[in-house]
Chain A
Amino acid sequence: MKKTDGRVQFETRGDLPATAQSLGGTSWNRTGSWKFLEPLYKDLTPPCSHVCLTGLDVVAMMHKVEQGDWDGAARVALDVNPFPAVTGRVCPHPCEQPCNRKAYGGGVVVHAVEAAVGDHKLAKAVRPELPEAVHPRVHVVGSGPAGLSAAVALRRLGHPVTVHEAAPEAGGLLRYGIPAYRLPTEVVRAEVAWVRSLGVEIETGRRLAREEIEALGPTIFAVGFGRSRPLGIPGEDLPNVLDGMSFLAGVRRGEETGLGAEVAVVGGGNTAMDVARTLRRLGTRTTVWYRRTEREMPAFRLEVDEAKEEGVGFRFLAAPVRVEASPTGRLLVTFVRMELSGKDASGRSKPVPVAGDEVTVEVDALVKALGEVLDDEVVPRGAATRDGRVGVAPDGHAGEAEAFPAGDCADGTGATVSEAIRGGRLAAHALHAELTGQAVPAAAPLADRGVDPAVAKFKQLNVARFRKEAPHAPDVVAPGERVASFAPVEGRLPAADAVAEAARCFKCGTCVECDVCYHLCPDMAISKKPGGGYVIDLAHCKGCGVCAQECPRAAIELRKST
């Protein structure tokens, strides 16, 4: 008897057993020839990462947390975002909107897990890989989220970095703009300390003049906004008509304690909400006046909701037309009723005043929160400004100037901290390319691991493999209690809950080696590779498609057999 490739060949009759006894296995039988479909491991883009403002590989971070690898999770975040403790708290987390988990027990509370990862980074001083600082020193003007992000990115690219900050403390908007109940001061200070621990120098307390900035050579320009947009109405210059950002900064500095018993806030953005909610915490009756309706408010939805919970009043379709001093030393503010008619350039409904339909209120102060613009005085010469922001050329330059704008002051950057962080990183890359001639590939963690751009949809998932459990969300302080202090509105998610929440994440489109395909393959055609992942034995795969159908995460595609 001979065996060739596992097949038995009888040479004489004497080779035959006396009964039907097996003499070998079946592996020689290439059942793969039966198939007309074959599986292929192909990760799809999770909907969260698809919309993440920093480009975070959300599921990779979630997977690390689920496995208890907090350092690993922090490093996943650090790939695109040095400050997850900040973004976990202040990002509007668009990632949570399209979460496929929403239809199955509730969306994943991504931001709280991110905050927990950020807190871990701070507590354990998790640092990225840092090369020797062999490149020329670079300067960053402004220590807000964009500036600090750029500083970290440059340090990671091998530059010594100096950050220049006008305010007494670094952090910019994080320190002086966003109220402490959203972003506690100690988190900002810890982030700044962490940046310093990477070797970044941060000089505070001195505002650089334009010439000084120009003299720094190629520079990250991340000064944020310098002043509020004016109302452009009579009486705007009266005392007790305040600028929102200045008011918030004053409160964060501990200087501002109150504006009286009743205050009107004009505007519908996040600054208006921050001001109004801060005022409520200072014991002030506060009404927000907005010229469009609630639907058009640019503020984050959660901010509006929480402001309402905290007793902030809202008056819509009303724009101030004049401010007068009242006989008692207060302010008389007159608003005209607005109507929405057609669309404006931004695509929003356009408010039009209804002549003569006015109302006058008496308040102790009026706070302007109509948005902010750049402080032209510090913009380097040669930089073009447009609508209060510095234009950014495709190569990252601000026009002719040797400045690389980032953050709020850079035209095209979105209104969120997350976008500022991303902008800082991109500006840093542009600056590095300028200085070294070496282009930095865009951070694209998903593309780097071969993820298909197509977004994983709910109906592609096999949710039966998941338990339908409610989210593990952080505690939220009751509104009545909230307005009594500047303590965080949302508590921290305990580590165990963060792990549970990370486990609840579907990891849409992503193979996490759950072994469902491996265990269910009827043909032993899927085996585990020693280093992780799977290998498909197409010589035996019959193309039944069970693996693709059962994959909880839509990470296996069935395609026509070749």
Chain B
Amino acid sequence: MTTTVPAPAASRTSILTGNQAAAWGAFLARTQVVSAYPITPQTTIIETLADLYQRATWPSRFVNVESEHSAMAVCIGASITGTRVFTATSAQGLALMHELLHWAAGSRLPIVMVDVNRAMAPGWSIWTDQNDSLSQRDTGWAQVYCSTAQDVLDHVVMAFRLAETTNVPVMVVEDAFVLSHTAEAVEVPAQEVVDNFLPPRTPSFKLDVEKPAAFGGLLGPDWYQEVRQDLHDSMLRIGGLLPKAYADWARLTGRAYDVVETWHMDDARVALVTSGTVSQTAQEVVESDWARREKVGLVQIRLFRPFPAARLREVLGGVEKVAVIDRNCSYGHHGIFFQELKSALYGLPDARRPKAYGYVMGLGGRDVSVESIEDVLRRTVSRPAPEPETTWLGAVLPPGAPVKACACGEEVTR
């Protein structure tokens, strides 16, 4: 499918899917080298980009490779030679890139990638969940989870600034289909707006025949740890840089973001914690009469790496209960946002530390509906303690089917 999108002369509102928005973000950032490999549901990003690059006014190259692995390799080569690069993938493709994600981060390359959250095979699934991106948690990439097409466009642009300021690669994540293929009204900023926000890349190091150096050679025990600590420190800097970027972006576009978005958290007794498009649905839930009565607030985690632990402690300290919806699972333990959050809350004094209830649901594209979120909240409100800590919610069984206990002790139910 070829998507033709007219280039706006000034900021204008277009009807774009999440994928088209992602492509626009990369294009407006004047990305010089794009390399990607098609995978559902990412394909329309690169199709849109291929089309947009037909009219790029700056020297650019679109490298059609034979695998996601090579896509990331091309990005590494192009980035370390000093150019601004972009790629996008999903699920199996991201998993195939895994080794190179370490290379990109370890090489300190400001690559920006959009990952369309898709469930991992087998069996084949093209529908959304977060296990693909969260499996890459420890590769040294910053991760931002978007919930709207506008989010995606804006965050792709902002990701370049974060990446190029810190030399840490950034992954911008959007849900398959519900975001990637759902058209929304998106304000596409004018090129000048993006140019004001994002100057051309000025790399602090690169492959340069005038200043030759080797990159990536043998790094012995004497220095490996220090070099990695620098990656860690730089990643942490993003926690402070992103709010600054949000502020600048808001000045230019009028759109404000936060690393952690909140609704009704001022007097919340129960907090619902979400990420991705579930947050959009959850916003509806927390506006319900019941939710308002029960003082349910909503927290959307946008920035996952670096993890905004301090901010979350600030937002959630003193809340009685926290319910975390994970569209993913670290098998044998918990949902990943849940465990990350719980770890962050450990830093609160006992009196202010909420009880944490984990819910794994919506895997493989299962709809996380208003009703299922309400179910999460009712369970959380009604249970005095999170025992067990994680509940799997979701399997729809025929009426009268025998109930089978889940390994974690929770009955599988709807």
Taking CB atoms, residues of chain B closer than 8 Å to A341 are none
- Is there contact, CB below 8 Å, between B213 and A16? no
B151 to chain A, nearest CB (A): 29
Give the complex CA separation of A21 and B218 in angstroms: 10
Question: Is residue A22 within 8 Å, beta carbon to beta carbon, of the partner chain?
Answer: yes
Q: Which of B167, B204, B227, B234 contacts A20 (CB 8 A)?
A: B227
Give the complex CA separation of A10 and B226 in angstroms: 12
Give the complex CA separation of A273 and B214 in angstroms: 77
Q: Which of A193-240 contact B (CB under 8 A)?
A: none
Give the complex CA separation of A13 and B234 in angstroms: 14
- Is there contact, CB below 8 Å, between B167 and A18? yes
**B212 nearest in chain A by CB position:** A22
Q: Which of B213, B226, B231, B234 contacts A21 (CB 8 A)?
A: B213
- Is there contact, CB below 8 Å, between A16 and B167? no
Taking CB atoms, residues of chain A closer than 8 Å to B216 are 19-20
**B214 nearest in chain A by CB position:** A22
Question: Is residue A17 within 8 Å, beta carbon to beta carbon, of the partner chain?
Answer: yes
B412 to chain A, nearest CB (A): 47
Question: Number of contacting residues on B, CB 8 A?
Answer: 19
**A13 nearest in chain B by CB position:** B226
Q: Which of A1-60 contact B (CB under 8 A)?
A: 10, 13, 16-23
- Is there contact, CB below 8 Å, between A19 and B226? no
Q: Which of B230-255 contact A (CB under 8 A)?
A: 230-231, 234
Give the complex CA separation of A18 and B80 in angstroms: 13
B221 to chain A, nearest CB (A): 13
- Is there contact, CB below 8 Å, between B234 and A18? yes
Taking CB atoms, residues of chain B closer than 8 Å to A21 are 205, 213-215
- Is there contact, CB below 8 Å, between A19 and B108? yes
Question: Is residue B399 within 8 Å, beta carbon to beta carbon, of the partner chain?
Answer: no
- Is there contact, CB below 8 Å, between B108 and A22? no
Taking CB atoms, residues of chain B closer than 8 Å to A20 are 106, 215-219, 227
- Is there contact, CB below 8 Å, between B219 and A17? no
B337 to chain A, nearest CB (A): 29
A106 to chain B, nearest CB (A): 51
- Is there contact, CB below 8 Å, between A22 and B227? no
B202 to chain A, nearest CB (A): 15
Give the complex CA separation of A10 and B230 in angstroms: 15
Give the complex CA separation of A18 and B223 in angstroms: 11
Give the complex CA separation of A13 and B230 in angstroms: 9
Give the complex CA separation of A16 and B205 in angstroms: 13
Taking CB atoms, residues of chain A closer than 8 Å to B215 are 19-22
**B106 nearest in chain A by CB position:** A19
Give the complex CA separation of A20 and B205 in angstroms: 11
Give the complex CA separation of A492 and B373 in angstroms: 109
- Is there contact, CB below 8 Å, between A18 and B226? no
Question: Is residue B262 within 8 Å, beta carbon to beta carbon, of the partner chain?
Answer: no
Question: Is residue B107 within 8 Å, beta carbon to beta carbon, of the partner chain?
Answer: yes
- Is there contact, CB below 8 Å, between B213 and A22? yes
Taking CB atoms, residues of chain A closer than 8 Å to B106 are 19-20
- Is there contact, CB below 8 Å, between A16 and B223? yes
Taking CB atoms, residues of chain A closer than 8 Å to B226 are 13, 16
Give the complex CA separation of A18 and B214 in angstroms: 13
1/0 contact string of A414-451 vs chain B (CB within 8 Å):
00000000000000000000000000000000000000
Give the complex CA separation of A23 and B218 in angstroms: 13
Give the complex CA separation of A283 and B226 in angstroms: 102
1/0 contact string of B161-174 vs chain A (CB within 8 Å):
00000010000000
1/0 contact string of A246-276 vs chain B (CB within 8 Å):
0000000000000000000000000000000
B89 to chain A, nearest CB (A): 23
**B204 nearest in chain A by CB position:** A18
Q: Which of A10, A13, A16, A22 contacts B217 (CB 8 A)?
A: A22
Taking CB atoms, residues of chain B closer than 8 Å to A13 are 226
Taking CB atoms, residues of chain B closer than 8 Å to A10 are 223
Taking CB atoms, residues of chain A closer than 8 Å to B223 are 10, 16
A139 to chain B, nearest CB (A): 75
A485 to chain B, nearest CB (A): 72
Give the complex CA separation of A461 and B108 in angstroms: 54
- Is there contact, CB below 8 Å, between B219 and A18? no
- Is there contact, CB below 8 Å, between A18 and B108? yes
Give the complex CA separation of A19 and B107 in angstroms: 6
**B218 nearest in chain A by CB position:** A20
Taking CB atoms, residues of chain A closer than 8 Å to B205 are 17-19, 21
- Is there contact, CB below 8 Å, between A18 and B217? no
Taking CB atoms, residues of chain A closer than 8 Å to B230 are 16, 18
Q: Which of A275-296 contact B (CB under 8 A)?
A: none
Give the complex CA separation of A49 and B368 in angstroms: 98
Taking CB atoms, residues of chain B closer than 8 Å to A16 are 223, 226-227, 230
Taking CB atoms, residues of chain A closer than 8 Å to B231 are 18
**B222 nearest in chain A by CB position:** A10
Taking CB atoms, residues of chain A closer than 8 Å to B107 are 19
Give the complex CA separation of A18 and B234 in angstroms: 9
Taking CB atoms, residues of chain A closer than 8 Å to B234 are 18
Give the complex CA separation of A353 and B204 in angstroms: 105
Q: Which of B181-233 contact A (CB under 8 A)?
A: 204-205, 213-219, 223, 226-227, 230-231
- Is there contact, CB below 8 Å, between B227 and A18? yes
Taking CB atoms, residues of chain A closer than 8 Å to B218 are 20
Taking CB atoms, residues of chain A closer than 8 Å to B219 are 20
- Is there contact, CB below 8 Å, between B213 and A23? yes
**A10 nearest in chain B by CB position:** B223
- Highest count of chain B CB atoms <10 Å: which of A16, A17, A20, A23: A20
**B215 nearest in chain A by CB position:** A21
Give the complex CA separation of A10 and B222 in angstroms: 11
Give the complex CA separation of A22 and B219 in angstroms: 10
Give the complex CA separation of A19 and B168 in angstroms: 11
Give the complex CA separation of A471 and B173 in angstroms: 78
**A24 nearest in chain B by CB position:** B213
Taking CB atoms, residues of chain B closer than 8 Å to A17 are 205, 227
B98 to chain A, nearest CB (A): 19
Give the complex CA separation of A18 and B140 in angstroms: 13
**B107 nearest in chain A by CB position:** A19
**A22 nearest in chain B by CB position:** B214
Give the complex CA separation of A13 and B223 in angstroms: 10
Taking CB atoms, residues of chain A closer than 8 Å to B214 are 21-22
B139 to chain A, nearest CB (A): 15
Q: Which of A131-173 contact B (CB under 8 A)?
A: none
Taking CB atoms, residues of chain B closer than 8 Å to A23 are 213
B8 to chain A, nearest CB (A): 37
Give the complex CA separation of A418 and B319 in angstroms: 116
Taking CB atoms, residues of chain B closer than 8 Å to A19 are 106-108, 205, 215-216, 227
B267 to chain A, nearest CB (A): 45
Give the complex CA separation of A10 and B223 in angstroms: 10
Give the complex CA separation of A282 and B226 in angstroms: 101
Give the complex CA separation of A13 and B222 in angstroms: 12
Give the complex CA separation of A10 and B220 in angstroms: 14
1/0 contact string of A49-92 vs chain B (CB within 8 Å):
00000000000000000000000000000000000000000000
Taking CB atoms, residues of chain A closer than 8 Å to B204 are 18
A11 to chain B, nearest CB (A): 13
**A14 nearest in chain B by CB position:** B230
Give the complex CA separation of A257 and B217 in angstroms: 91
B227 to chain A, nearest CB (A): 6
**B219 nearest in chain A by CB position:** A20
Give the complex CA separation of A19 and B234 in angstroms: 12
B2 to chain A, nearest CB (A): 39
Give the complex CA separation of A22 and B226 in angstroms: 15
B75 to chain A, nearest CB (A): 16
A326 to chain B, nearest CB (A): 100
**A15 nearest in chain B by CB position:** B226
Q: Which of A93-132 contact B (CB under 8 A)?
A: none
A497 to chain B, nearest CB (A): 49
**6 A-B Cβ contacts within 8 A?**
A18-B205, A18-B231, A19-B216, A20-B217, A20-B227, A21-B214
Other A-B pairs, 13, CB within 8 Å; known A17-B205, A19-B216, A20-B216: A10-B223, A13-B226, A17-B227, A18-B108, A18-B205, A18-B227, A18-B230, A18-B231, A19-B106, A20-B217, A20-B227, A22-B214, A22-B215
- Sort A-B residue pairs by CB-CB distance and give the 3 closest, nearest first: A22-B214, A20-B219, A18-B108
